[in-house]
Amino acid sequence: MTFREGGFVNVPALIGFLQKQAGTAKLRPDQKLVYARDWREVRQRLNGSLQLARALAALV
């Protein structure tokens, strides 16, 4: 995931989110968020992506 205009509004909240998701989420040096999960079915991927987007939106 790439953040619009190269940044995240609430950086401390994002750092807290990343700490809670240790081993699953990480921020790459190019400022892209990588979220690695084993969602094998399309429905799982869609639901997981929606939940991730909601969690990030709540941090703003």
Chain segment 5-60, per-residue pLDDT in tens? 767 888 899 999 999 998 899 888 888 889 899 999 999 999 999 999 999 999 98
Containing structural domain, residue 8:
4-59
Residue 15 and residue 5 in contact, taking contact as beta carbons nearer than 8 Å: no
Number of H helices, E strands in the chain: 2, 2
Name the domain count of the chain.
1
Find all residues with CB under 8 Å of 13, minimum gap 6, and list them: 59, 60
This prediction has a pTM of 0.77
